[in-house]
Homo-oligomer: A and B are copies of this chain.
Amino acid sequence: MKIAWIGTGVMGKPMALHLAHAGYEVSCYNRTIEKAKALEPQVKVFDNIKSLVKDADIVFSIVGYPKDVLDTYQEVMKYAKKGAILVDMTTSSPTLAKNLAVQAEELGFIMLDAPVTGGDIGAINATLSIMVGGNEQAFHTIKPLLEKMGKTITYMGKAGNGQHAKLANQTAIAGAISGVAEALFYAKTKGLNQTDMLKVITGGSASSWQAQNNGPKMIDGDYKPGFYIKHFLKDLNLVLEEKEDLPLIVVEKVARIYQLLVDQEMQDLGTQAIIEYYLKQNV
């Protein structure tokens, strides 16, 4: 089984290598070709999508933004082998995922959307959570491959549903991380010891992964990115694009906060820097 892999960034690189290490024949392409070259000789590298995909049975991609996904697959679908399974693992637009799946079917391919959570650590340790939308039979075909990259593989239903699941997941994060930030900010302005405060929060029903992992960083002003603000804002904006008339009022507020942080050049900080929004209010 020949595998083509597009996008060998922070996430894509370890994911592609897991497949290669599992014995699959993996070929890679990356827009900045040097990043792909760094994976040789464990994978073969092509400097164009046409050569990469023409013999591939399965094409994986994990790129940047929905625009990149669209551009990538317009080219992939020109040159891929009929019957190939195309799997986009970028966090991207559910509507785009649905449209691409329709286009793929018309052209004789099957396209799945399979975004992930778990970050670079999850990618490196192959402990990602992968949410898959699209043709169920194709899902079962590629499931053994996904199991090389992730620990929790969940089939979410029709095309686009993988993306919807990822966006719902980010929605839950938006609430949790803003709640922790507001709590620590409130505590600080009232003169409480923030470390004691965080111990209280993480000790009971107010606890969350965000409180446990990003709470200490908020207190220390450690904004080294685990997850970039620019990427989280991209995700939240995708939620807002899909929300139609849904009253997702917390997500809306949190997206606005992150937009303000990006406006202040904080896009390359970690999401925990949301606390800066509060601290900068000069109250």
Binding site for B on A (CB under 8 A): 94, 117-119, 122, 129, 131, 152, 154-158, 160-161, 164-165, 167-180, 182-187, 189-193, 196-197, 199-201, 203-211, 213, 227, 239, 242-251, 253-254, 257, 277-278, 281, 283
Contact = CB atoms under 8 A, between A and B. Distances in A.
* Tally of this chain's copies: 2
B213 A205 contact: yes
Contacts of A118: 204-205
A183 to B, nearest CB: 4
Contact of A164 (B171, B184, B186, B253): B186
B192 A156 contact: yes
Contacts of A164: 186-187, 190, 192
Given A164-B190, A206-B117, A210-B208, A179 B247 contact: no
B171 A186 contact: yes
A173 B206 contact: yes
A82 B14 CA distance: 70
Contacts of A190: 94, 160-161, 164, 168, 242
B179 A165 contact: no
Closest 3 CB pairs of A and B: A175-B179, A208-B208, A172-B183
Given A168-B201, A176-B206, A186-B248, 20 more contacts: A117-B204, A156-B197, A157-B193, A161-B190, A161-B191, A161-B192, A164-B187, A168-B183, A169-B197, A169-B204, A171-B182, A175-B179, A175-B182, A175-B250, A185-B246, A205-B210, A208-B208, A244-B283, A250-B250, A250-B254
12 contacts: A117-B206, A129-B200, A129-B203, A165-B196, A169-B204, A175-B176, A176-B206, A182-B250, A186-B243, A204-B209, A207-B209, A208-B209
